[in-house]
Amino acid sequence: MASIDNIRNSIIDKLLTITNKEYLSALNQLVQGNTGNSDKVRLTEEQVLMLEMSEQDIANGNLIDQGTLDKEDLKWLREQ
């Protein structure tokens, strides 16, 4: 198995051969987004609202078991 330094150096060598600016920009964004230091995910207001609504459904007992959901999904798909 290659060491971390070997893998890093191999990637750097390959990066040095890339001349496509758009490709390099995309790689740069990918690398910048992968700092490895943060496990936090930023949610939109809509996502937070949906999670809050889900919590309310659970608290109010508005639940459906997986088997029933699967049957309803199949019924809906047949009607399409």
Q: What is the DSSP track for 12-57? A: HHHHTT---HHHHHHHHHHHHH--SS----PPPHHHHHHHHHHHHH
pLDDT, residue 30, reads: 87
* 62 falls within a domain: yes
What DSSP designation does 9 have?
H
Q: What pTM was estimated for this model as a whole?
A: 0.42
pLDDT, residue 31, reads: 85
Tokens encoding 61: 């007992």
* 41 falls within a domain: no
Q: How far apart are CA 71 and CA 65, in angstroms?
A: 10
Q: What are phi and psi of 24, to 5 degrees?
A: -65, -40
Number of separate domains in the chain: 2
Cα dihedral 39→45→47→52 (10° resolution): 100
* 20 falls within a domain: yes
pLDDT, residue 70, reads: 94
pLDDT, residue 80, reads: 87
* 40 falls within a domain: no
* 39 falls within a domain: no
Containing domain of residue 24, as a range? 4-31
pLDDT, residue 35, reads: 58
* 59 falls within a domain: yes
Q: Which residues in the chain show pLDDT less than 70?
A: 1, 34-39
pLDDT, residue 29, reads: 87
* 17 falls within a domain: yes
* 36 falls within a domain: no
